[in-house]
Amino acid sequence: MSITLYHYLILAAILFCIGIYGILTSKHAVRVLMSIEIAFAGVSINLVAFSNYITPGTLAGQIFTLFIMTVSAAEAGVALAIIFNIYKNFRTVDIDKIDLMKR
Amino acid sequence: MIDFAVKNAWLVVALPFLSALIITFFTKTNPLLSSRISRLAIFIALIQSTLIGIASISDIQYVIKNSAGSLRWFTSGDVNFYISWKVDSTTALMIFVVTLISFLVQLYSREYMGEYINKGNSFSRYYAELSLFSFSMLLLVFTDNFLVLYAGWELVGVSSFLLIGYFYDKKSAAVAAKKAFLANRVGDFGFLLGILLVFTYTGTLNFDVAANQIAEGKLSGSILTISAILLFFGAIGKSGQFPLHVWLPDAMEGPTPVSALIHAATMVAAGVYMVAKIMTIFAQAEFPALLGMNALDFVALIGGITAIMAAFIAVTQNDIKKILAYSTVSQLGFMMLALGMYTTDVSHIHPVGYTAAIFHLFTHAFFKAMLFLCSGSVIHACHTQDIWEMGGLRKKMPITAITCLIGTAAISGFPLTAGFWSKDALLDSMIIANKFYFILASIAATLTAFYMFRLYFVTFEGEYRGHGHPHEPGWRMKFPLIFLSIPSLLIGFVGTPWANYFGHFITYIPVVSHQVEEHHHGPNFLVMGTSLLIFIVGFGLAFILYGKGNYNKANELSEKLKGLYKASLNKLYFDEIYQYFIDNFILVLAKVSALFDKFGLDLIVNGVSQFFVYLGNLIRQLHNGKVQHYLLGVIVALLLMIFSYTNYLKIVEYKNYILLGLLILFVLFIIKDIGEKVINNLKNKFLS
Amino acid sequence: MLKDKSFLTILTVFLGAVLVVLGSLIFSSLGYGKEFSFYLLSTLIVISAVAVVTVSNLVYSGFLLVLTFVLVSGIYMLLNADFLAAAQILINGGAVTIMLIFAIWLTNNKNDTANIPYSGYYRYTAFVFVGLGLFLVLVLRITGINFNPTGTPVLSVSPGIWNILEPIKVNTTEKIGQLFFNEYLVPFELASILLLMALIGAIVLALREYKFENKEENLKNKEEEKVLK
């Protein structure tokens, strides 16, 4: 049995779910960022697989994956800056403690 | 003129009400104008009721036919409730008495209360309350249905409360007002229950219709007797009968003219009037439901006890108004006793004392009002109510003394005065119906003569023992005294056994006409002799003990009969017994029910609110400001939406279970999560 | 932290995994064992990704993230995306992860409660909803669709027929370069602007607090000077 699109999609789904699970259960802000990166990786696999199997030759999916990388890098940079700020203000990166939305 | 007066009989009620409204809302700040408006209104009402009275004497059927009227008050379901009125002979009599005495008292008050003219609005308030009382009393006597009667009944209670508590900055007056109101409430509760019973069974509130329905058998047996007794509870409260008489002597805290009007002549007679008015219902309540007594037996028993007990207490009282108050209670007991007198005639009850009771009510109103006004005159002059600080006032206040003597003679039954004829009629009815009550009433009447002459002798004869310089009051106070002394002397002649005009005017008309044994059998000389003897014994005793300005014999007698004397002086300890009862039973009961209120009802009410507060707190925990929890909520919602709106999963038949399972899981999560927080909060609270 | 023995273990595992991946890729490029390569890579990806979110030591999870990204780049290679695989290793496996590890280092606080994981109950709930609920939905959704070659996905009632084109080999680097400067020029420029914005934004965010503190210090200094005068 050859490897088909479905295999890649299910792998992507697994990665995405692991990422979401990580976002939900991480207490450390940096680990949340890591989880987000994992979820991004899942999505990227999805796009590359589609690009390869459904629209071979156009490479639109790979281009979009590159954009995702760009955006995730930018996001990671800004998010880390925010985390620094939070750490400076609260002396903690426990996102359970940072519940300013409640007030 | 007479035609107009009869056809617009409701004006008699409306005028005092209008005056009360005008005084309250417009002329409150002008005391003299207020009093003039009030007097004018009651004077017009007096003229109209006199005209109605004349019309009634000439042709009562014409008055009954033309004076009746009704307004629809409200509708509940299929039943319409009316404010209806009708002038029959009893009503015509009562409105005349009420308006006449109201007018005289208002005239008298102008001088008696004169010192209050310049004290803010209190003078206007006094007249507004008097007008309100007149309106309430007239409403009470005008109506022919229970509902309006009850409204008037409560309204006179309110006016009485207001007027007793007129000097509301005096603590005893405020307490007395409260006592009067509460004692009346006890009776009124029974009255209301009686009305409701009658209404439940007969479906009507009209006296005559209800009586006819009862005659048809809609309400009979023990229930009818109990209804009648419950109705009589109202009369017990309002007329100061035996268990609830305690408020009436205390009500003397009010201004004396008020005592004359409300607590002697009119309002306290409302109970007697009411029993007389619905005598058709009482007379049908012949089933012995209460300890072998039917309704009228009960009335007679209460009346008899009241008459003898109040007379006994009055003998030793020292306060001039208290003596008169107990005298009033006693006389009202006489009336009730007479109302309870009946003869049975082939299972039909015929109340033989009916006419006599109303006759005594009529005459008593005049001389008792006059006696109160005399006492007011004396108090006005001496600034005290203690008879031992008076004495010898006959020389200083001759007119007051003479009118007071006339009143005393009338109430004691001096031959040919008003009281003689009415008391004669009362005793006559008793000797026909029940010999025991005849003896009882004779003793009570003897005591009446004794204590009334004791009052007269101590107050007006002998040496002056007070301080100050008493003198005759002005014409506004003298006029009512002189005016009232005329009927006190002469009004009895309308009801002599030889020519009983009164008896023809007011007779008991049974619902089902049956052969009535003729009772108008002319004068009964045994009764007349007894009543003469009563007067002589009472007067003689009083004269021996108090007549000569030397009270040693009286003091010796009181020493000899120390037990009786003390019992009488302390009013048979009724107040103390009631106080004990209230302290040890009512208050305990109140505390128990307060506990129930606190731990039963409050727990439920607060529990409901607390439950929702808790629920709110529970749901509020969802908004804990934590993004991760929100994200979990988003995912759950997403899943729920996917499961509920699409069916590509091919698990349609299990879809609802999956949805339910997801929801339950989420809820469990919330509860667990929040439960931990609550526990942590509690830990922090109690450990820190 | 890094002197720990277990770090050597991780490093060994890491290097071994990279070797395994490279070996399998070489095999697959020769035309053999492509299935084997996929399953091996997938298994390692899933294991390392799970380890990233569950390992208690945050530094370990940072290195495991690098491993995950390297393995994902292997998947890209299987999908004939060689440029993407290289970019993945460079950008995600290198730059982003290094940045994250720096963040861990800078925000390190021994007393920080962030190192204590959530309660087991909460993690199980999240697992039920995400690992079972969301994953089930995604899998059923994926297998429920028949992706036909024309490119338009059609919903089908039965699981799809496995008639999918074999992957084709393209020289992607050249083609991506051409596409970026022709077809996707505007998004490319926008992405560069986005990166610039992120750069400036990150600097501003990270520096703002210092400026503020400086102002306060300046004010304090001025007041002191006034007092001295």
DSSP code string of B290-341: BTTB-HHHHHHHHHHHHHHHHHHHHTT--BHHHHHHHHHHHHHHHHHHHHT-
Strand ranges in B160-245 using DSSP code E only, listed in sequence order: none
Count of alpha carbons within 13 Å of C29, Cβ hemisphere only? 13
Percent of chain B predicted with pLDDT > 90 = 12
Inspect the interface and report whether the beta carbons of C53 and A11 lie closer than 8 Å: no
Sign of CA dihedral C5, C8, C9, C11: positive
Inspect the interface and report whether the beta carbons of A84 and C205 lie closer than 8 Å: yes
Contact indicator for B631, A23 with CB cutoff of 8 Å:
yes
Q: pLDDT at residue B472 above 50?
A: yes
> pLDDT at position B41, please?
92
Q: What is the 3-state secondary structure (H, E, C) of B451-513?
A: HHHHHHHHHHCCCCCCCCCCCCCCHHHHHHHHHHHHHHHHHHHHECCCCEHHHHHCCCCCCCC
Amino acid in position B646:
T
Instruction: Please give the helix or strand (H or E) that residue B69 lies within, else none.
Output: strand B69-76
pTM of the model: 0.64
> pLDDT at position C158, please?
37
Query: Strand B348-351 to strand B69-76: parallel, antiparallel, or no bridges (unpaired)?
Result: unpaired
Inspect the interface and report whether the beta carbons of B625 and A24 lie closer than 8 Å: no
Please provide residue B471's backbone torsions phi and psi, each rounded to the nearest 5 degrees: -150, 165
Q: pLDDT at residue A42 above 90?
A: yes
Inspect the interface and report whether the beta carbons of A1 and C199 lie closer than 8 Å: no
The pLDDT tens digits of the residues spanning B415-424 come to 888 888 888 8
| H-state helical runs in C30-171 | 34-54, 58-78, 82-87, 97-106, 120-126, 135-143
Confidence bin at B347 (pLDDT 50/70/90): low
Confidence bin at A65 (pLDDT 50/70/90): very high
| Number of H-type helices and E-type strands within chain C | 9, 2
**Interface residue of C118, C121, C129 to substitute, partner B, most B CBs within 10 Å:** C129
Which residues have CB under 8 Å from B234's CB, separation 6+? B153, B187, B188, B190, B191, B192, B194, B271, B274
Q: What is the 3-state secondary structure (H, E, C) of B96-163?
A: HHHHHHHHHHHHHHHHHCHHHCCCCCHHHHHHHHHHHHHHHHHHHHHECEHHHHHHHHHHHHHHHHHH
Inspect the interface and report whether the beta carbons of B626 and A96 lie closer than 8 Å: yes
Among B398, B341, B685, residue whose Cα is nearest residue B519? B341
Confidence bin at C196 (pLDDT 50/70/90): very high
The shortest C-alpha distance from A28 to chain B (Å) reads 12
The partner residue sitting opposite A102, judged by closest CB among B623, B631, B635, is B623
Asked if the C-beta of B645 comes within 8 angstroms of chain C's C-beta atoms, the answer is no
Residue of C nearest to B674 (CA): C122
Q: What is the 3-state secondary structure (H, E, C) of B566-611?
A: HHHHCHHHHHHHHHHHHHHHHHHHHHHHHHHHHHHHHHHHHHHHHH
Asked if the C-beta of C156 comes within 8 angstroms of chain B's C-beta atoms, the answer is no
> Any idea what DSSP says for residue A101?
G
Among B140, B113, B134, residue whose Cα is nearest residue B31? B113
> pLDDT at position C1, please?
47
Instruction: Please give the helix or strand (H or E) that residue B4 lies within, else none.
Output: helix B2-7
- List Cα–Cα distances, B195 to A92, B80, B289, B339, B363, in angstroms: 79, 16, 18, 20, 30
Segment B4-20 mean pLDDT? 88
> pLDDT at position C223, please?
66
The pLDDT tens digits of the residues spanning C2-34 come to 556 666 777 777 777 777 777 777 776 666 667
Residue ranges covered by each domain of chain C: 1-117, 184-229
> pLDDT at position B121, please?
81
> Any idea what DSSP says for residue B165?
G
The number of folded domains in chain A is 1
The pLDDT tens digits of the residues spanning B27-53 come to 888 888 888 999 999 999 999 999 998
> Any idea what DSSP says for residue B84?
E
Inspect the interface and report whether the beta carbons of B626 and A95 lie closer than 8 Å: yes
Question: CATH 1.20.120.1200: does it fit domain C1-117?
Answer: yes
**Interface residue of C53, C118, C119, C125 to substitute, partner B, most B CBs within 10 Å:** C125
Q: pLDDT at residue A97 above 80?
A: no
> pLDDT at position B21, please?
92
Asked if the C-beta of C22 comes within 8 angstroms of chain B's C-beta atoms, the answer is no
Confidence bin at A1 (pLDDT 50/70/90): low
Residue of C nearest to B643 (CA): C137
Inspect the interface and report whether the beta carbons of C131 and A17 lie closer than 8 Å: yes
Q: Which residue has the higher pLDDT, B96 or B600?
A: B96
> pLDDT at position B673, please?
63
> Residue A17's domain is classified under what CATH number?
1.10.287.3510
Rg (CA), chain A: 17
Segment A75-95 mean pLDDT? 85
Segment C57-82 mean pLDDT? 86
**Interface residue of C42, C79, C135 to substitute, partner A, most A CBs within 10 Å:** C79
The partner residue sitting opposite C134, judged by closest CB among B639, B650, B669, is B639
> pLDDT at position A18, please?
93
Instruction: Please give the helix or strand (H or E) that residue A62 lies within, else none.
Output: helix A60-90
> What is the domain extent for residue A80?
5-102
**Interface residue of B621, B624, B627 to substitute, partner A, most A CBs within 10 Å:** B627
Q: How many angstroms separate the CA atoms of B265 and B41, rounded?
A: 20
DSSP code string of B243-276: GGTTHHHHGGGS-HHHHHIIIIISGGGHHHHHHH
Segment B326-338 mean pLDDT? 91
Q: How many angstroms separate the CA atoms of B235 and B332, rounded?
A: 10
Asked if the C-beta of C142 comes within 8 angstroms of chain B's C-beta atoms, the answer is no
Contact indicator for C88, C73 with CB cutoff of 8 Å:
yes
The structure tokens 């009411």 sit at: B274
| Max Cα distance, chain C (Å) | 89
The pLDDT tens digits of the residues spanning B510-544 come to 777 665 555 555 677 888 888 888 888 888 888 88
Inspect the interface and report whether the beta carbons of A38 and C175 lie closer than 8 Å: no
Confidence bin at B17 (pLDDT 50/70/90): very high
Asked if the C-beta of C203 comes within 8 angstroms of chain B's C-beta atoms, the answer is no
The pLDDT tens digits of the residues spanning B633-670 come to 888 888 777 777 665 555 556 666 767 777 777 766 66
Residues of chain A positioned with their CB less than 8 A from the CB of C136: none
ipTM, two decimals: 0.91
Inspect the interface and report whether the beta carbons of B635 and C129 lie closer than 8 Å: yes
Segment B297-325 mean pLDDT? 89
Among B260, B243, B125, B257, residue whose Cα is nearest residue B186? B243
The partner residue sitting opposite B639, judged by closest CB among C121, C126, C137, is C137
